[in-house]
A and B are shown apart, each in its own frame.
Chain A
Amino acid sequence: MSSSEERKLILKSSDNEEFVVKESSAVQCLTIKNLVEDRCVSDPIPLANVDSKILALVIEFMEKHAETTLSNSEKKEFDVEFVKKPFDDLLELILAANYLDFRELMDVLCNTCAKQMENWSVEEVREKFNIQNDYTVEEEKAARAENPWAFE
């Protein structure tokens, strides 16, 4: 009977790329953990909502955080570098972390976005997140009237 450290899983992205990961790392994703515990595991595990680029990044994070030899501050240093990505990628990672129920990754990503957003104006949010303004002229005027800086 092999120890769980040696057990490997194959994860398949939505664009059919396959990734081999240690089961012990992969179970940080509760979605995968539940499959393993319920013995629903097929080879490979299809992840229809995550493409290969994002899955590779998730696996990078997953394996780093599963390493018992790393200290917490080393993991934090990794996180700081990891989140230096375009906002589009961060969104894809958030959606993947949600789908996989990967709490640690979700927390790091949400904290990053939250910290960045503070002190932005409405225009900056739209620009950095690439959001089209779909407000009418009146709605836009009303939103401007709620600009917090006018009340501080």
Chain B
Amino acid sequence: MKETENLELCFEKMMVENIGTKSGGETSRGVIKSEWKDIPVELLLRILSLVDDQTVIVAAGVCHGWRDAISWGLTHLSLSWCKKKMNDLVLSLVPKLPKLQVLILRQDTPQLQDDAVETIASYCHDLQELDLSKSFRLTDRSLYALARGCPNLIKLNISGCSAFSDAALAYLSGFCRKLKILNLCGCVKAASDRALRAIGYNCHQLQSLNLGWCDRVGDEGVKSLAYDCPDLRALDLCGCVLITDESVIALANHCLHLRSLGLYYCQSITDRAMYSLAQNRVKSKHEVWESVKKGYEEEGLTNLNISQCTALTPPAVQLLCDSFPALHTCPGRHSLIISGCLSLTSVHCACSVQAHRAASSFSLAH
């Protein structure tokens, strides 16, 4: 129970630093006025968290106080709205923003060059998320720079950066070992088995990997990932035409948290792959029991794309559908995608079967 005399002290401690004393003028009431240029950093940042990125940039140009506040506190920035000269803006702006954690530079037309990425790597050592998609003018210089400057990267999107080599990607993985989400869609040169082996070796926390249209990816690469990245939850192998059942079996055996798998156009996939996924579901159910006790939900596969996998037959795919209750063929929650497989039209998830039965019993009654 505090004494009344100490109450003043209570308030003194809680007081926001009296900013009016620096430069404010006196009002007619004899009270020192506060000034917008001296607004406390956290309050300015709170307002700026509500405005678009262009306005944040304007704010940084208003006065020293605001520029310093933004330098000190800005953690998220997107420049994807730049239709032109994004490179210049990055070169000019990024040195003032050393606290950036998330930087989105996705482009429609490729504007970024290596010097911009080198600048990011020199200043933004706290960077956790970087989106450079479609920057196909970037060369390996950028990857080497990121490796040296941004070891805290967790999420990296370099889809469409077709000039990167696998040596540089492998090098990057050795430094950015905290990577959890990596998008290499369309990085045909970079995503080779050699690079995947390095990624598997270095990035054990990997959860999501997009290898869409990386047609050099083979079983060796995917198997390395399966062995070394037990936490893998999402893997997109669409268009990875060299993949065989070996890859899927390795994933089924080793990546028990796998929720999403894309095998679109992997035409060498056969029923063997389906059976291995279904079998391991049974095995992992024992693990599921333990994890449910710990409060962790494990549904197994929720998304599977096997379009154009024309070697698959209905019994195998139906078994898979039955083993994973989260796989749906019904229109509302379509997550088992089998377009282009005319032989698989008979495969249905449990809810479509029920709906079908309800409909046919209705028509029977009439």
Q: Is A99 an interface residue (CB 8 A)?
A: yes
Pairwise interchain contact A118-B2, C-beta atoms closer than 8 A: no
**CB-CB contacts of A33-72 with B at 8 A, as 1s and 0s?**
0010011101001111101110000000000000000000
Which segment of A20-28, A77-85, A106-114 sits at the interface?
A106-114
Q: Which residue of B lies closest to A144 (CB)?
A: B61
A48-B16 in contact given A91-B39, A118-B55, A121-B58 (Cβ < 8 Å) = no
Taking A15-B29, A48-B12 as given, write out 10 further A-B residue pairs in contact, using a Cβ cutoff of 8 Å, ordered by the A residue number.
Answer: A42-B4, A88-B34, A114-B51, A117-B55, A130-B36, A131-B37, A146-B60, A146-B92, A148-B57, A152-B83
Pairwise interchain contact B37-A142, C-beta atoms closer than 8 A: no
B36, B43, B58: the one within 8 Å of A87 (CB): B36
A40, A87, A143, A151: the one within 8 Å of B86 (CB): A151
The residues in B between 18 and 66 inclusive whose CB is less than 8 angstroms from any CB of A are: 18-19, 29-31, 33-37, 39-40, 43, 46-48, 50-55, 57-64, 66
Chain A residues near B34: list those with CB within 8 A: 88, 91-92, 95
Interface residues of A (CB under 8 A from B): 14-15, 31, 35, 38-40, 42, 45-49, 51-53, 87-88, 91-92, 94-95, 98-99, 106, 110-111, 113-115, 117-122, 125-126, 129-135, 142-152
Chain B residues near A119: list those with CB within 8 A: 55
Pairwise interchain contact A51-B29, C-beta atoms closer than 8 A: yes
Pairwise interchain contact B58-A98, C-beta atoms closer than 8 A: no
Q: Which residue of A lies closest to B52 (CB)?
A: A118
Pairwise interchain contact A148-B54, C-beta atoms closer than 8 A: yes
> Tally of A-B residue pairs with Cβ under 8 A?
138
Q: Is B82 an interface residue (CB 8 A)?
A: yes
Q: Is B351 an interface residue (CB 8 A)?
A: no
Pairwise interchain contact B47-A99, C-beta atoms closer than 8 A: no
Chain A residues near B35: list those with CB within 8 A: 91, 130-131
Chain A residues near B92: list those with CB within 8 A: 142, 145-146
Chain B residues near A129: list those with CB within 8 A: 36-37, 62
Q: Which residue of B lies closest to A40 (CB)?
A: B2
**Whole-angstrom CA separation of A121 from B39 in the bound complex:** 19
Q: Which residue of B lies closest to A51 (CB)?
A: B31
The residues in B between 130 and 185 inclusive whose CB is less than 8 angstroms from any CB of A are: none
**Whole-angstrom CA separation of A58 from B224 in the bound complex:** 63
Pairwise interchain contact A47-B51, C-beta atoms closer than 8 A: no
**Whole-angstrom CA separation of A127 from B23 in the bound complex:** 17
Q: Which residue of B lies closest to A126 (CB)?
A: B62
